[in-house]
């Protein structure tokens, strides 16, 4: 009996590796939202444009990275489209900032916020 339950649990655990959440904050020029997609596990479980673009050099404008990040988030198979989740967005920022210099992260976030993100 336990072996019969093990197979569905392993299949569900493997499928969960490919589930990703992506939060886009609302702004005057766009509707925010959180999208849960089925995609390759090459990005964090909780993602956002800001989280993807924190590591840019100071000389590079973040707007191209922000637009590219949103485009990549839409390439997966959408499982659910939900209203904006502030907790998910905050979690994505914390995950993206892990192991980075707090001053560099603050400077990158200030640079990104100039573009309304």
84 neighbors 24 (Cβ within 8 angstroms)? yes
Q: If 0-12 CB within 10 Å is exposed, 13-18 middle and 19+ buried, where does residue 96 land?
A: buried
Structural domain includes residue 117: yes
Q: What is the mean pLDDT of each run of 10 residues along the chain (117 residues)?
A: 82 86 84 88 84 85 89 87 88 88 89 82
Q: Which domain holds residue 74?
A: 49-117
In a domain, 43, yes or no: no
How far is 44 from 28, CA to CA, in rounded Å? 27
Chain-wide mean pLDDT for the chain?
86
Residue 37 lies in a domain: no
Note the pLDDT tens digit of each residue in 66-99.
889 888 888 889 999 999 888 888 888 888 888 8
With respect to residue 81, please indicate whether it lies within any of the assigned structural domains. Answer: yes
Q: Is residue 107 part of a domain?
A: yes
59 is a domain residue: yes
Q: Tell me what pLDDT residue 83 has.
A: 93
Rounded CA separation 34/84 (Å): 5
**Residue 80 has what pLDDT?**
92
- pLDDT, position 1: 67
The domain tally of the chain equals 1
pTM of the full structure: 0.75
């Amino acid at each position: 009996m336990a072996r019969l339950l093990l197979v569905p649990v392993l299949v569900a655990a493997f499928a969960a590796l490919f589930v990703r959440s992506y939060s886009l904050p609302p702004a005057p020029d766009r509707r925010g939202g959180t999208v849960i997609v089925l995609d390759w596990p090459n990005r964090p479980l909780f993602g956002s444009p800001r989280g993807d673009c924190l590591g840019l050099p100071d000389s590079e404008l973040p707007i191209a990275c922000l637009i590219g990040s949103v485009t990549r988030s839409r390439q997966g198979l959408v499982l659910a489209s939900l209203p904006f989740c502030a907790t998910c967005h905050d979690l994505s920022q914390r995950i993206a900032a892990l192991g980075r210099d707090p001053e560099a992260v603050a400077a990158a976030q200030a640079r990104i916020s100039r573009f309304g993100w």
